[in-house]
């Protein structure tokens, strides 16, 4: 099967199931939820058991940007449908609405977020704008500034709010990363405006905040208080998954500070990766994280899995689920961090006090 077809099938199939599920409920919303959870996890393991090699890199033709644009443009009516379904406007029963929340939220968290992340790194302004507005619709617009201007610059250092410390639980990390990335991104934008002599009104944070307020108002006007609550709920769930990806993909890894005060350059050793086939296709190769940090402008079909880079023991979505259990997470991941540290002079990232972690 051509690479383009693999990416399209993995990402567009759940979108189609969600549309049917949001409108009709029943088996369709159940199928969407199963696709994004059990089916994805099972297929990853079956393909690994059968010895399937990770999807080879491919030269991205026009299809790569076309698929990303399609997913981004579909995101907005899909979000509207999800909000409508959760408020009962499409006639779903209570159990169907619960399934709708988790199915739509998982798609926004795993596919829409991964796609928006891809788009904000593109050079074409229309594509960047699409990615930016996907984040704005999920009430996380500042990520379009904080991710490329803070995270990529300071990843695996104490200066990056989105690099998880050794022994830090996901719950402590998520709150710190959300607030920290908002502030750090704002500071970076203000610095750039001052350096370029541009007015404060040119700050994209105005767009992020005003856009989010406008979209929330639209949800409230269309579906009342329930629509507002549904929009906030879906956005919070999707954002929690984005922060979970950051947590998992950089947990415990740290760049050393050199004698001149600078940090060592970012290398393959500063991101956790996952070689599992299906979830990687569905998330547009987001689990190939080391190569992304080494080459941020590289489009997703061309990302590689560098030899010797840190590898997660299970697919990224499965590891995200494991991170919800801090003690189990540390039992699985801390020995792996220790083995990496033993091979490298770079210390683990800012070990948090054990007393704090015990309360997490």
End-to-end, the C-alpha distance of the chain in Å comes to 46
pLDDT score, position 347: 54
**Per-residue confidence at 349, pLDDT binned at 50, 70, 90?**
low
| 8 Å CB contact between 130 and 72 | yes
Here the tokens at position 175 are: 């709150």
Higher pLDDT, 246 or 352: 246
**Per-residue confidence at 53, pLDDT binned at 50, 70, 90?**
confident
pLDDT score, position 261: 85
- Average pLDDT of the chain is 93
| 8 Å CB contact between 128 and 297 | no
Q: Give Cβ neighbours of residue 282 (< 8 Å, ≥ 6 apart).
A: 10, 11, 14, 40, 110, 111
| 8 Å CB contact between 162 and 177 | yes
pLDDT score, position 353: 42
Q: Percent of the chain at pLDDT above 90?
A: 88
For the chain, which residues make up each domain, given as ranges? 3-358
Among 50-59, 63-72, 120-129, 185-194, the minimum mean pLDDT is found in 50-59
CA of residue 73 relative to chain centroid, distance: 18
pLDDT score, position 166: 96
Any idea of the CA torsion for 161, 272, 280, 322, to the nearest 10 degrees? -80
Q: Using a cut of 0.75, tell me whether the model's pTM lies above it.
A: yes
Average pLDDT estimate for 200-229: 98
In angstroms, the CA 236 to CA 212 distance is 13
In angstroms, the CA 284 to CA 7 distance is 7
Higher pLDDT, 13 or 353: 13
pLDDT score, position 57: 84
Q: Is the model's pLDDT at 120 over the cut of 60?
A: yes
Q: Is the model's pLDDT at 360 over the cut of 50?
A: no
**Per-residue confidence at 265, pLDDT binned at 50, 70, 90?**
very high
Question: How many other CB atoms sit within 10 Å of the CB of residue 53?
Answer: 8
- One-letter-per-residue 3-state SS of the chain: CCHHHHHHHHHHHHHHHHHHHHHHCHHHHHHHHHHHHHHHHHHHHHHHHCCCCCCCCCCCCHHHHHHHHHHHHHHHHHHHHHHHHHHCCCCCCHHHHHHHHHHHHHHHHHHHHHHHHHHCCCCCHHHHHHHHHHHHHCCCCCHHHHHHHHHHHHCCCCCCCCCCCCCCCHHHHHHHHHHHHHHHHHHHHHHHHHHHCCCHHHCHHHHHHHHHHHHHHHHHHHHHHHHHHHHHHHHHHHHHHHHHHHHHHHCCCCCCECCCCCECCCCHHHCCECCCHHHHHHCCCCCCHHHHHHCCCCCHHHCCCCCCCCECCCCHHHHHHHCCCHHHHHHHHHHHHHHHHHHCCCCCCCCCCHHHHHCC
In angstroms, the CA 299 to CA 320 distance is 24
pLDDT score, position 259: 86
In angstroms, the CA 234 to CA 231 distance is 5
């Amino acid at each position: 099967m051509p690479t383009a077809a693999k990416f399209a099938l993995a990402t567009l199939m759940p979108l189609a199931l969600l549309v049917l599920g949001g409108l009709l409920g029943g088996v369709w919303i159940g199928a969407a939820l199963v696709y994004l959870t059990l089916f994805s996890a099972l297929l990853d393991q079956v393909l690994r058991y059968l010895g399937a090699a990770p999807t080879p890199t491919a030269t991205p033709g026009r299809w790569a940007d076309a698929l990303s644009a399609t997913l981004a443009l579909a995101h907005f009516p899909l979000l509207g449908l999800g909000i409508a379904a959760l408020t009962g406007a499409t006639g779903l029963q209570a159990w169907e609405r619960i399934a709708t929340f988790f199915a739509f939220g998982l798609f926004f968290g795993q596919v829409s977020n991964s796609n928006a992340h891809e788009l904000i790194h593109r050079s074409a302004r229309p594509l960047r704008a699409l990615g930016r507005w996907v984040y704005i619709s999920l009430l996380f617009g500042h990520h379009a500034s904080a991710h490329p201007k803070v995270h990529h610059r300071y990843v695996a250092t104490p200066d990056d709010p989105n690099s998880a410390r050794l022994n830090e639980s996901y719950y402590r990390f998520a709150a710190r990363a959300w607030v920290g990335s908002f502030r750090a991104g704002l500071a970076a934008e203000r610095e750039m405006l001052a350096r370029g002599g541009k007015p404060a009104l040119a700050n994209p944070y105005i767009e992020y905040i005003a856009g989010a307020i406008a979209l929330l108002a639209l949800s409230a006007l269309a579906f009342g208080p329930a629509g507002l609550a549904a929009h906030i709920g879906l956005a919070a769930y999707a954002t929690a998954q984005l922060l979970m990806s950051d947590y998992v993909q950089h947990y415990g890894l740290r760049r050393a500070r050199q004698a001149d005060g600078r940090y060592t350059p970012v290398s393959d050793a500063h991101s956790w990766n996952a070689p599992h086939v299906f979830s990687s296709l569905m998330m547009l190769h987001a689990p190939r994280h080391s190569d992304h940090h080494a080459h941020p402008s590289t489009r997703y079909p061309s990302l590689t899995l560098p030899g010797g880079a840190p590898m997660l023991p299970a697919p990224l979505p499965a590891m995200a689920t494991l991170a919800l259990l801090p003690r189990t997470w540390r039992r699985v991941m801390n020995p792996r961090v220790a083995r990496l540290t033993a091979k490298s002079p770079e210390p683990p990232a800012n070990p948090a006090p054990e007393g704090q972690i015990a309360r997490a």
